[in-house]
Amino acid sequence: MPKTPPAATQAPAAKRGRPGYDQQSVLRIAVEVFNLHGYEATSMGLLAGKLGISKSAIYHHVPSKEELLRLALEEALGGLEGVLMLDGATSGTPDARLEFVLRQTVAVLVGRLPFVTLLLRLRGNTEMEREALSRRRAFDRTITGLVSAAQSDGSLRDDIAAATVTRLLFGTVNSIVEWYKPGGSLSAAKLADDVLAITLDGLRK
């Protein structure tokens, strides 16, 4: 009877399962594809091709394309809404709170750039998108309240409507997703300093 080869010389058993993906990595690549082609134009087949796996393998991680969108939007909105719950956003003068929120919002945009990019490109074509846009508008209303309070206490000029100030502030902040490249010479902290210098300094008395 032939001897069994020593364990060290036996061929390793073939690995089973899907190559190198978990839900988060599938989500990250899905968001890249959504941003490149548009959410509506992205099919599960296109996404599977980008991932190099079958559609059934994707369904191992998420039940649908809609679930990928939900997870992506939660990543963006959860980050932004989380800023409003931090101590710096809830205590101190309205001006200091506004500066803190703007600085932290820039940090969220930089840290979650693909996810926030997707959020900002929504058109509201589905119930899920409309809910996300509603949450985004609620975030903007909170900022408008901070601007109004800072105007009332004399910290900010009051000859511009608070809602207009908010739109101008976030027009600047949101534009970051179109041109900022993480990992370059412009750090997230310096970017926040520059945004505040351009926006708030022109509003302060």
Quick one: pLDDT band at residue 6, thresholds 50, 70, 90?
very low
pLDDT the model gives residue 92: 96
Quick one: pLDDT band at residue 185, thresholds 50, 70, 90?
very high
pLDDT the model gives residue 91: 96
**Domains of the chain with bracketed CATH:** 18-63 (1.10.10.60), 69-202 (1.10.357.10)
The mean pLDDT of 16-45, rounded to a whole number, is 85
Q: Rounded to the nearest 5 degrees, what angle is found at the Cα of 119, between the Cα atoms of 117 and 122? A: 110
Contact 121, 147 (CB under 8 A): no
Q: Rounded to the nearest 5 degrees, what angle is found at the Cα of 204, between the Cα atoms of 200 and 205? A: 170
pLDDT the model gives residue 202: 81
Kindly state the tokens that stand for 202.
Answer: 């022109």
Among 11-20, 127-136, 143-152, which stretch is predicted with the lowest mean pLDDT? 11-20
Task: Tally helices (H) and strands (E) across the chain.
Answer: 11, 0
Quick one: pLDDT band at residue 203, thresholds 50, 70, 90?
confident
